[in-house]
Amino acid sequence: MIEFRRNHNLQPLNTLALPAKAEYYCRINHCEQLQLAVDFATERGLPITVLGGGSNVVFAGNIAGLVIHIGLDGIELHAQQDDQVQVDVAAGENWHQLVEHALEKGWYGLENLSLIPGLAGAAPIQNIGAYGVELKDIFHSLQAFDIASGKEVTLSARDCEFGYRDSIFKRQLKDQLIITRLRLNLSTRPNLRLDYPALRDAISALPESVALTPAVVAETVCRVRRSKLPQPSETPNAGSFFKNPVVSARKAEELRKLFPGIVCYPHGEQEQKLAAGWLVEQCGWRGKQVGNVGVHHKQALVLVNNGGTGEELLTLAEQISESVKNRFGVKLEIEPRVYR
C-alpha cells in the first residue's frame, strides 16, 4: 500500500523550516513502491522531487508534482575480508545514526562525518564532507532506481564522478535516479584522520589519560560541531549556504596581495579553495538580520530562518553574493538545492 496525500505540508520536513506544500506527497518504505509512485506521477504528468531529511534544500514556494519521501531502512554487513568490511546502507537511514551504529559494530571510517544531518541516500549527491574526510573516501558503490526505465542500476565510485561537494547527480544525472542503497568500505582497524586543523587542535586539548579511539574522535567532532553550528531544531538552517569557491592559484595570489588575511587552502595543484565564511564575514554580514531571515552570529556561512520564506532567504543570499563579488571579484555558489 502506498498513500498519496495532496497539499502535504513540507515545513516540518526541511531543516530551514521554510513554508511549502507538496502538490502530492508519498513516503516510500519499500523499494517495490518506487515503481508505483513513479507510475502515479507519470499517469498525471507530474514532475518528481525526491526528499530525504530536507537538510540541504531551499523551498522558495510550493512544490508542484509528486514529492517522494525516502523511508527505506536497513544496515547490513555485506562482506568481510581480513580487516575490511563492506556495509550496505538503505537510503532512508539517518546519517548520524549510521555513524553511531558503525562505531558500535567496530566498523571504522565514518568518525569525521559525525553529526551531519540528513539521510544516507543524499550523501552521494554532494559527496558530503567534513573535517578532512569525504564520502568518496569510504564509498564503494550505490544502487538506484532509474525513473525513466524503472530499472535498478548500480554505480561505482568512478561512475559517480565525485568532486568537491559535487557529483554526477548534480549534473548529467540530476533528477534521473532515486538512490536506494549505498555500499561503504569500512575497516575494523582504526585509521584516525586527524589532519584537519580544528579537529587536531580539539584532540590535542584532551587530557593525556584519554585513549585516542574512533569513538573519541567522533565525540570530539560532535562537540566541536555543537559549539560552532546552530542546531536546526532550535535555529532553522541548512548548514553552509555557500560552497567554498575554488579559484586559480593566480587569482588566489592576487587576492592575497590585496587582502593579506584571506583564508585559502590548496585545492589540487593549480587551484586554491577560499573560505566562503571569511569572505562573507569580511563584508559585514555575520550576525545580521534582514526581516525574518539572517546570518548566524557565530558562522557567517550559515543563513538562518526566523519565520521567513524561501524567497526572503534567497534575496538575502543574492545580497550577500553581490557584496562578495563587488569586494573580492569572487562568485559564490549556493550549496543547497533550490526549488523555486
Q: What are 68's three cell numbers?
A: 517522494
Query: Which residue's beta carbon is nearest to the bound ligand NAP?
Result: 239
Q: Which is nearer to ligand FAD, 52 or 214 (CB)?
A: 52
Binding of residue 240 to ligand NAP (CB under 6 A): yes
Q: Report the 10 Å Cβ neighbour count for 118.
A: 22
131 is an interface residue for ligand NAP by CB under 6 A: yes
Q: How far apart are CA 110 and CA 145, in angstroms?
A: 25
Closest separation in Å from C-beta 131 to ligand NAP: 5
Q: Let me know if 165 is a catalytic residue.
A: yes
Indicate the pairing of strand 337-339 with strand 139-146. unpaired
| Element spanning 224, H or E | helix 214-228
- Among 23, 27, 114, 165, the active-site one is 165
User: Distance (Å, rounded) from C-alpha 319 to C-alpha 326?
Assistant: 11
Write out the DSSP string of 74-111. Answer: -EEEEEEETTEEEEEEETTSBHHHHHHHHHHHT-BS-G
Residue in 197, 284, 291, 307 binding ligand NAP, rule: CB under 6 A: 197
Residue 228 binds which one of ligand FAD, ligand NAP, none, with CB within 5 to 8 A depending on kind? ligand NAP
Q: Which 27-86 residues touch ligand NAP, going by CB under 6 A?
A: none
Interacting partner of 147 out of ligand NAP, ligand FAD, none (Cβ under 5 to 8 A depending on kind): none
| Cβ partners under 8 Å of residue 238, min gap 6 | 14, 15, 16, 55, 56, 57, 58, 232, 303, 335, 336
Tell me, yes or no, if 32 is annotated catalytic. no
- The least CB distance from residue 187 to ligand NAP, in Å, is 21
Taken in order 170, 174, 178, 181, the sign of the CA dihedral is negative
Out of ligand FAD, ligand NAP, none, what residue 51 binds, judged by CB under 5 to 8 A for its kind, is: ligand FAD
Percent helix, strand, coil in the chain (nearest 5)? 30, 30, 40
Choose from ligand FAD, ligand NAP, none: what does 265 bind? Cβ within 5-8 Å by kind. Answer: ligand NAP
Query: Which residues are tagged catalytic?
Result: 165, 240, 335
Binding site for ligand FAD (CB under 6 A): 15, 50-57, 70, 91, 116-119, 121-123, 125-126, 128-130, 177-179, 229, 232, 237-239, 337
